[in-house]
Chains A and B, each alone.
Chain A
Amino acid sequence: DGGITQSPKYLFRKEGQNVTLSCEQNLNHDAMYWYRQDPGQGLRLIYYSQIVNDFQKGDIAEGYSVSREKKESFPLTVTSAQKNPTAFYLCASKWADTQYFGPGTRLTVL
């Protein structure tokens, strides 16, 4: 059963804490992406990775960090430096010309 998984579905953290969001894919896709969605806004790119051990900043990378040690995994860390971390986070992988999305993680910082 191939696909992209993100866990957990809902995540709560206290202000000032770092938190890591998981993204795993078994589709053998090389490229992976992290987006953030806020109400009334489109998907904004945080980071992307074309291959293992390489990643690039997107439009809103400040306050976030990523790693790509394995092809299947692209975790996103939301650091305490991110001023407005409460949002819906989406991970995607790309095959040919199409990106395929995971189910998302709703992060709420209290």
Chain B
Amino acid sequence: DQQVKQNSPSLSVQEGRISILNCDYTNSMFDYFLWYKKYPAEGPTFLISISSIKDKNEDGRFTVFLNKSAKHLSLHIVPSQPGDSAVYFCAADGTGNQFYFGTGTSLTVIP
């Protein structure tokens, strides 16, 4: 059973606009969440994270929002750039031993 879900396999956005990637989780014990960016045939690169004691974390153009009651997090990229085109994975850590990954959302930023 998938404990972390990314229901949108793909997203297309115009350059300069906002990209919003969504992620849902089912396990209320998860207390730390991360977003990774991945290019084809490469390893994922850590992007941004958020602890469950916060509801927002910002790093430059990237902001992650956490809604614990809805078990939902989102990644906002503003403004979107063509170099942001990649697959984005969200991940959750609950036990400290392993992460649970979503299936990824492929973002295409159109110039």
Measured CB to CB, the residues of A under 8 A from B are 4, 6, 9, 33, 35, 40-45, 48, 50, 56, 58, 88, 90, 92, 97-104, 106
Q: B89's contact among A4, A42, A56, A104, by CB below 8 Å, is which?
A: A42
A50 to B98, CA, bound (A): 10
B46 touching A98 by the CB < 8 A rule?
yes
Contact A48-B46, Cβ < 8 Å, known A42-B103, A98-B34:
no
Q: B49's contact among A97, A103, A106, by CB below 8 Å, is which?
A: A97
Residues from 18 to 48 in B contacting A, C-beta threshold 8 Å: 32, 34, 36, 41-46
B49 touching A48 by the CB < 8 A rule?
no
A41 to B45, CA, bound (A): 17
A40 to B41, CA, bound (A): 14
Is residue B9 contacting chain A, with contact meaning CB distance below 8 A? yes
Give the residue name and chain of the B residue nearest to A99 (CB).
Answer: B99
Residue numbers in A under 8 Å from B98 (CB-CB): 33, 45, 48, 58
B43 touching A101 by the CB < 8 A rule?
yes
How near does chain A come to B47, taking the closest CB pair, in angstroms?
10
How near does chain A come to B9, taking the closest CB pair, in angstroms?
7
Residue numbers in B under 8 Å from A42 (CB-CB): 2, 4, 6, 89, 101-104
**Assuming A33-B98, A35-B101, A43-B89, what are 7 further A-B pairs, CB within 8 angstroms?**
A41-B103, A48-B97, A56-B97, A58-B98, A101-B43, A101-B45, A104-B42
A62 to B72, CA, bound (A): 32
